[in-house]
Structure 1
Amino acid sequence: MARHLLSVNFMFRFTRGYKNSQRLKHTCCGSSCTDASSLCVIHDRQNQRFTITLDCDGAASSAALKYTITHDQLVELMSTEVPQSHRGKGVAAHLAKAALDFVVEENMKARISCWYIRKYVDENPHLRYQTHIED
């Protein structure tokens, strides 16, 4: 799956230009209310957020990770919000991965204000996000 994600990101950047896009789909595999591997993360640069639309039995809701970018290109990862009905299913992990991949791809530094994103970085040292984290 990681190879697929990298090739999708590369093709998007190659054909449309990553820095100029308003929206970028990182992963999209269908929809299911219980299967975290089928979530679609959308990067909305204009509103500085990553979102996942959750549709379970006709009830639509969304999860979001909010960030800001300072004048010196430091990304502050502020918060993750996941509806109660979808917590514990890997939704926040998909948001955190998408945001941290964005930081790495843009060769930026990040400051983490959200406890969950900090936990994600600490629990996934093999992804090497730590070198992009400013304490």
Structure 2
Amino acid sequence: MSASVRDNKDKSRFELDVGQEVAFANYRLTPSAVIITHTETPRALRGRGIASELVKGALELIRRDGRKVVAGCGFVVDYLDKHPEYADLVA
């Protein structure tokens, strides 16, 4: 699923389509980092790991762009705590 995560630069958010719904993670950019400020999964899709797939895909895009990440929302903080393979991205 993470392969379909995209960076919607116009809305400053990473997006993941799930059927007719969209899960997203809002962000702000700094010169060297991406601050993920909020993640949201549509209510009907919660509890299926979609937010985790969204954050994983977002982190892969951030890594590809050579940036760091700042966890500005609790979900991303928890995700990073559980996935040490992304520790190199933490600003």
What TM-score results when the alignment is normalised by the length of structure 2? 0.85
Deviation at 1:73, TM superposition (A): 2.4
Shift of 1:103: 1.9
Cα distance in 2 for residues equivalent to 1:106 and 1:114: 21
* TM superposition shift of 1:41: 2.1
The whole-number CA distance in structure 2 between the counterparts of 1:113 and 1:64 is 14
What is the CA RMSD across the aligned residues, in angstroms?
1.8
Bigger CA radius of gyration: 1
- Residue by residue, what CA displacement relative to the aligned partner does 1:50-88 show, whole Å, maximum 9, x if unpaired? 112222xxxx32211111112x22210111100111111
Residue equivalent to 1:133: 90
Alpha-carbon contact 2:5-2:58 (below 8 Å) kept: no
Secondary structure, aligned partner of 2:77: helix
Higher normalized contact order (CA 8 Å, seq sep 6+, divided by chain length):
2
Partner residue, 2:24? 64
Unaligned runs of 5+ in 1: 1-25, 28-39
Q: Paired residue for 1:23?
A: none
Q: Which residue of 2 aligns with 1:85?
A: 44
Offset of residue 121 of structure 1 = 1.1
CA contact (8 A) 2:33 2:69 kept: yes
Give the drift of 1:45.
2.2
By how many angstroms is 1:43 displaced?
Answer: 2.1
Count of aligned pairs: 91
**Structure 1 residue ranges, 4+ long, deviating more than 4 angstroms after superposition:** none
1:97 aligns to what?
56
TM-score, length-scaled by structure 1: 0.60
Corresponding residue number in structure 2 for 1:75: 34
CA distance in 2, matches of 1:88, 1:67: 23
